[in-house]
Chain A
Amino acid sequence: MTQDIMKFRYTDGKPNLRRFHQARWDEPIIFELSQQGQRGVLLPEAESEIKEIVGDILSTIPETMRRKQLPALPEMSQAQVLRHYLRLSQENLGADLNVDIGQGTCTMKYNPKVNEQLARLPGIAEIHPLQDEDTVQGILEIMYQFEQMLKEISGMARFSFQSQAGSQAIYTCTAIMRAYHQVNGEADQRDEVITTIFSHPSNAACAKVAGYKVITLYPDEDGYPDFNALKEAVSERTAGLMITNPEDTGIYNPNITKFVKVVHDVGGLCFYDQANANGILGITRARDAGFDMCHFNLHKTFATPHGCGGPGGGAAGVSEELAKFLPVPVVGWDGKKYFLDHNRPDSIGKIRSFYGVAPVILKAYAWVMSLGADGLREVAEIAVLNNNYLLKKMLEIPGVSAPYAEGKPRKEQVRYSWQALYEETGVSSEDIGLRAADFGLHYWTSHHPFVVPEPNTLEPTESYTKAEIDEYVAVLRQIADEARTNPEFVKTAPHNSTVHRIVNHDPLDKPEQWAVTWRAYRRKLKQHEA
Chain B
Amino acid sequence: MNKKQPVVYPYIPNSEPSIKQQMLDEIGVASIEALYEDIPEALRMKQKMDFPEPFLSEPDLVRHVEELLAKNATCKDHLNFQGAGCYQHFVPAVCDEINGRSEFLTAYAGEPYDDHGRFQALFEYSSMMGELLEMDVVNVPSYDGFQAAATSIRMACRLTGRNEALVCGAISPDKLSMITNYCLPDISIKKIAIDQVTGNVNFSALEKAISKRTAVVYFENPSYLGMISIDGTELTEIAHKHGAECVVGVDPISLGVIAPPVEYGADIVCGDIQSLGMHIQFGGGQAGFIATRDEEKYLMEYPSRLFGITPTSVPGEYGFGDVAYERTSFAIREQGKEWVGTASALWGITAGVYLALMGPQGLAEVGEIIMQRSHYAAIQLATIKGVESSTFDGPYFREFVVNFDDTGKTVAEINAALLAQGIFGGKDLSQEYPELGNCALYCVTELHRQADIDRMVAAVREIVQ
The residue in chain B whose Cβ has the minimal distance to the Cβ of A118 is: B65
The answer to whether the Cβ of A183 comes within 8 Å of any Cβ in the partner chain is no
Asked whether, in the complex, the Cβ of A509 is within 8 Å of the Cβ of B232, the reply is no
The answer to whether the Cβ of A1 comes within 8 Å of any Cβ in the partner chain is no
- Interface segment out of the listed B12-20, B201-209, B239-247, B398-406: B12-20
Expressed in whole angstroms, the minimum distance between the Cβ of A29 and any Cβ of chain B is 7
Asked whether, in the complex, the Cβ of A353 is within 8 Å of the Cβ of B283, the reply is yes
**Residues on the B chain within 8 Å of A492, using CB:** 313
- Contacts A65-B264, A204-B333, A362-B65 known; A94 to B34 CB distance under 8 Å? no
The answer to whether the Cβ of B296 comes within 8 Å of any Cβ in the partner chain is yes
In whole angstroms, what is the CA distance A497 to B224 when docked? 47
In whole angstroms, what is the CA distance A276 to B57 when docked? 28
- Contacts A66-B257, A308-B349 known; A504 to B339 CB distance under 8 Å? no
- Interface segment out of the listed A2-10, A40-48, A228-236: A40-48
The answer to whether the Cβ of A13 comes within 8 Å of any Cβ in the partner chain is no
The answer to whether the Cβ of A369 comes within 8 Å of any Cβ in the partner chain is yes
Asked whether, in the complex, the Cβ of A65 is within 8 Å of the Cβ of B318, the reply is no
In whole angstroms, what is the CA distance A470 to B100 when docked? 30
Set A369, A466, A520: member contacting B54, Cβ < 8 A: A369
In whole angstroms, what is the CA distance A280 to B40 when docked? 13
Asked whether, in the complex, the Cβ of B71 is within 8 Å of the Cβ of A373, the reply is no
Asked whether, in the complex, the Cβ of A103 is within 8 Å of the Cβ of B109, the reply is yes
Asked whether, in the complex, the Cβ of A40 is within 8 Å of the Cβ of B143, the reply is no
The answer to whether the Cβ of B434 comes within 8 Å of any Cβ in the partner chain is no
The answer to whether the Cβ of A447 comes within 8 Å of any Cβ in the partner chain is yes
Set A50, A201, A216, A354: member contacting B450, Cβ < 8 A: A50
Q: Could you give 21 example pairs across A and B, Cβ below 8 Å?
A: A30-B356, A57-B372, A70-B363, A97-B102, A124-B284, A132-B424, A138-B70, A145-B52, A201-B336, A204-B334, A205-B329, A205-B333, A207-B334, A285-B45, A303-B11, A307-B104, A310-B345, A358-B284, A382-B14, A497-B113, A516-B294
The answer to whether the Cβ of A386 comes within 8 Å of any Cβ in the partner chain is yes
In whole angstroms, what is the CA distance A100 to B111 when docked? 13
In whole angstroms, what is the CA distance A505 to B309 when docked? 11
Set B9, B73, B371: member contacting A131, Cβ < 8 A: B73
The answer to whether the Cβ of A448 comes within 8 Å of any Cβ in the partner chain is yes
CB interface residues, A 73-87, toward B, < 8 Å:
73-76, 78, 81-82, 84-87
Asked whether, in the complex, the Cβ of B230 is within 8 Å of the Cβ of A62, the reply is yes
What 0/1 readout, one digit per residue, does chain B (1-44) give for beta carbons within 8 Å of chain A? 00000010101111100011011101111001011111110111
The answer to whether the Cβ of A89 comes within 8 Å of any Cβ in the partner chain is yes
**Residues on the A chain within 8 Å of B80, using CB:** 128
The residue in chain B whose Cβ has the minimal distance to the Cβ of A282 is: B49
In whole angstroms, what is the CA distance A276 to B323 when docked? 29
In whole angstroms, what is the CA distance A57 to B400 when docked? 15
Residue of A373, A498, A504 contacting most chain B CB atoms (<10 Å) = A498
Asked whether, in the complex, the Cβ of B259 is within 8 Å of the Cβ of A67, the reply is yes
The answer to whether the Cβ of A335 comes within 8 Å of any Cβ in the partner chain is no
- Contacts A111-B105, A519-B127 known; A502 to B312 CB distance under 8 Å? yes
What 0/1 readout, one digit per residue, does chain B (358-375) give for beta carbons within 8 Å of chain A? 111111111111011101
Expressed in whole angstroms, the minimum distance between the Cβ of B170 and any Cβ of chain A is 16
The answer to whether the Cβ of B389 comes within 8 Å of any Cβ in the partner chain is no
CB interface residues, B 58-91, toward A, < 8 Å:
58, 61-62, 64-66, 68-78, 80, 82, 84-86, 88, 90
**Residues on the B chain within 8 Å of A214, using CB:** 333-334
The answer to whether the Cβ of B392 comes within 8 Å of any Cβ in the partner chain is no
In whole angstroms, what is the CA distance A214 to B419 when docked? 52
In whole angstroms, what is the CA distance A307 to B326 when docked? 24
Expressed in whole angstroms, the minimum distance between the Cβ of B92 and any Cβ of chain A is 5
- Contacts A46-B372, A201-B333, A508-B324 known; A31 to B107 CB distance under 8 Å? no
- Contacts A118-B62, A372-B54 known; A378 to B12 CB distance under 8 Å? yes
Asked whether, in the complex, the Cβ of B124 is within 8 Å of the Cβ of A29, the reply is yes
- Contacts A352-B178, A514-B324 known; A38 to B50 CB distance under 8 Å? no
Asked whether, in the complex, the Cβ of B312 is within 8 Å of the Cβ of A357, the reply is no
Q: Which 7 pairs, one residue from A and one from B, show the smallest C-beta to C-beta distance?
A: A354-B283, A123-B69, A372-B54, A92-B117, A40-B357, A307-B346, A138-B71
In whole angstroms, what is the CA distance A459 to B264 when docked? 51
Set B56, B90, B178: member contacting A353, Cβ < 8 A: B178
The answer to whether the Cβ of B48 comes within 8 Å of any Cβ in the partner chain is yes
Size band of the A side of the interface? 35 or more
In whole angstroms, what is the CA distance A502 to B347 when docked? 27
- Interface segment out of the listed B179-187, B212-220, B456-464: B179-187
In whole angstroms, what is the CA distance A499 to B320 when docked? 9
The answer to whether the Cβ of A370 comes within 8 Å of any Cβ in the partner chain is yes
In whole angstroms, what is the CA distance A167 to B359 when docked? 35
The answer to whether the Cβ of B436 comes within 8 Å of any Cβ in the partner chain is no
Expressed in whole angstroms, the minimum distance between the Cβ of B200 and any Cβ of chain A is 11
Known pairs A92-B110, A254-B39 / 17 extra A-B pairs, C-beta < 8 Å: A29-B318, A41-B358, A71-B131, A73-B128, A82-B94, A94-B103, A94-B106, A127-B75, A137-B71, A164-B342, A309-B344, A350-B174, A389-B26, A442-B115, A465-B14, A500-B313, A502-B311
Asked whether, in the complex, the Cβ of A92 is within 8 Å of the Cβ of B66, the reply is no
Set B7, B105, B117, B185: member contacting A307, Cβ < 8 A: B105
**Residues on the A chain within 8 Å of B366, using CB:** 43
- Contacts A93-B114, A288-B45 known; A64 to B71 CB distance under 8 Å? no
In whole angstroms, what is the CA distance A499 to B117 when docked? 10
The answer to whether the Cβ of A311 comes within 8 Å of any Cβ in the partner chain is yes
Expressed in whole angstroms, the minimum distance between the Cβ of B184 and any Cβ of chain A is 7
Expressed in whole angstroms, the minimum distance between the Cβ of B208 and any Cβ of chain A is 24
In whole angstroms, what is the CA distance A372 to B12 when docked? 13
Asked whether, in the complex, the Cβ of A308 is within 8 Å of the Cβ of B184, the reply is no
Asked whether, in the complex, the Cβ of A127 is within 8 Å of the Cβ of B282, the reply is yes
Residue of A114, A409, A463 contacting most chain B CB atoms (<10 Å) = A409
**Residues on the B chain within 8 Å of A167, using CB:** 339-342
Asked whether, in the complex, the Cβ of A30 is within 8 Å of the Cβ of B128, the reply is yes
The residue in chain B whose Cβ has the minimal distance to the Cβ of A360 is: B284
**Residues on the B chain within 8 Å of A152, using CB:** 49-51
Asked whether, in the complex, the Cβ of A125 is within 8 Å of the Cβ of B362, the reply is no
Residue of B172, B329, B346, B375 contacting most chain A CB atoms (<10 Å) = B329
Asked whether, in the complex, the Cβ of B115 is within 8 Å of the Cβ of A53, the reply is no
The answer to whether the Cβ of A306 comes within 8 Å of any Cβ in the partner chain is yes
The residue in chain B whose Cβ has the minimal distance to the Cβ of A79 is: B94
In whole angstroms, what is the CA distance A70 to B366 when docked? 13
In whole angstroms, what is the CA distance A484 to B108 when docked? 31
CB interface residues, A 100-138, toward B, < 8 Å:
100, 103, 106, 108-112, 114, 116-118, 120-132, 134-138
- Contacts A116-B100, A356-B284, A462-B14 known; A164 to B359 CB distance under 8 Å? no
The answer to whether the Cβ of A423 comes within 8 Å of any Cβ in the partner chain is no
Asked whether, in the complex, the Cβ of A121 is within 8 Å of the Cβ of B52, the reply is no
Residue of B53, B104, B258 contacting most chain A CB atoms (<10 Å) = B104
Asked whether, in the complex, the Cβ of A44 is within 8 Å of the Cβ of B49, the reply is no
Set A108, A303, A379, A500: member contacting B314, Cβ < 8 A: A500
In whole angstroms, what is the CA distance A62 to B50 when docked? 62
**Residues on the B chain within 8 Å of A76, using CB:** 356-357, 359
**Residues on the A chain within 8 Å of B140, using CB:** 309
The answer to whether the Cβ of B386 comes within 8 Å of any Cβ in the partner chain is no
What 0/1 readout, one digit per residue, does chain A (374-400) give for beta carbons within 8 Å of chain B? 111111011011101100110000000
In whole angstroms, what is the CA distance A129 to B144 when docked? 15
**Residues on the A chain within 8 Å of B280, using CB:** 125-129
Asked whether, in the complex, the Cβ of B259 is within 8 Å of the Cβ of A202, the reply is no
- Contacts A97-B103, A353-B178 known; A130 to B84 CB distance under 8 Å? yes
The residue in chain A whose Cβ has the minimal distance to the Cβ of B109 is: A103
**Residues on the B chain within 8 Å of A530, using CB:** none
Set B36, B58, B78, B138: member contacting A516, Cβ < 8 A: B138
The answer to whether the Cβ of B171 comes within 8 Å of any Cβ in the partner chain is no
